[in-house]
Structure 1
Amino acid sequence: MREIVLDTETTGLEPSQGHRIVEIGAVELFNLLPTGRTYHQYINPEMPMPPDAFRIHGLGDDFLADKPVFRRIARGFLDFVGDARLVIHNASFDMAMINAELRRLGADELPMSRALDTVQIARQRFPGAPANLDALCKRFGVDNSAREKHGALLDCELLAEVYLELMGGRQTGFALNVADQKSEQKVAVAAPGATAAQRPRPLAPRLSDAEAAAHDAFLAELGENAMWLKMRSDG
């Protein structure tokens, strides 16, 4: 199962007020394990950065001035995402921002049904406990010491580890390792003197009467000294 852990940084909280995406980060998972493939892009929002947003992610006007606008990166982003499920912390916000950008281009929106919200999963598992990313990193022992400010790709990498824990933790990896070990096992050699266990009843023959008759006719053509006839008489 292919999934994309996704995060955005923006100029604000309300796409209806013209706020735009300034950074997208994404991490690819396959069967709940990172593949090593990532997507990361800074984006020129074509508007000044509000001070409140700058305090959160530190992406200012000078830094973003030479970055591509969303319409220049949209195709590459959509190609990376493909038809995978989207794993997002507070999915309604990021999906609203992404779809607002796609509407500006006249492109099809991403359906909300594709998104899996890790905030909701965390609240279901730990009712009443904080469900923000820093709190979940602390709960699961995920090192977030590099997270001085919000950053889309770093947050995706942290969320991928948190998501694995929310979905059952290292048991998933353990199960895969067990499967790999089983596939690599060799046929065991019996110890000297050991006897194989016998079936309580012999298996029923799978040859039809017609097939058995054809086989006997073939052996008869080989003559009396045929090795197969000797083996049958000896057995």
Structure 2
Amino acid sequence: MKKQLLVTAMAVGISLCGFAQTKGTNALSFGVNSTTNKLSGNNYENKVKNNSFTLGYGYFFKDNNKIGLDLTYGLNKNTYGNDNINNQEQKSYGGNLSYQHYFPLVKTLFAYAGGKASYTHSKNNSEFTNTYPQVTNYTSNQYAVGAYGGITWFVSKRFALETSLLSADIAYSKTEQNEVSANNAFTKSEYTSFNLSSQGFINNLGFKIYILF
């Protein structure tokens, strides 16, 4: 009887460990990051608010192989100066397609490696109403492809926690700037950039939570 119970427990344990990585599993992920920094003085206040939200869906099309889609939204506000008369606001929207292959390490702990392609559109509005009033608007589009890897812990049958530890990206961006001064003078400029970047171990550490079903 004890032997049968032990075999049954082992079978259940193995099934729970393997469930999250098996073909046909769905993975819903979400993330929220909100920070506020405030600096005050005599008739002076500087307040910075940063908010970002992510929502993603992944599908294991075969064992230990997942494709995914992530959508992102960010809002950053910076208010500063006497009586808060100067303001900056940036909104960003984007998404990425990804592929990840998982490698078992110890029990429910897995390493992964994969690649992704992403797009981000952002708008930045700056308004200065002090000595030299002016309004400046930036519009930017960025395209990137890259490779990345990290660690995933399948905490239970329904939940997983994942972090990215290594990444390398190639990015291209195009930005348009429009500026209107106090005398209604208007200027417009465009510039582009191309860069290759990489991040080492534990740089830019971030976590993602998965709901598995």
TM-score clears 0.5: no
Structure with max Cα Rg = 1
TM-score (structure 1 length as normaliser): 0.21
Using the size of structure 2 for normalisation, the TM-score is 0.22
If asked which structure has higher relative contact order (CA below 8 Å, sep 6+), I would say 1
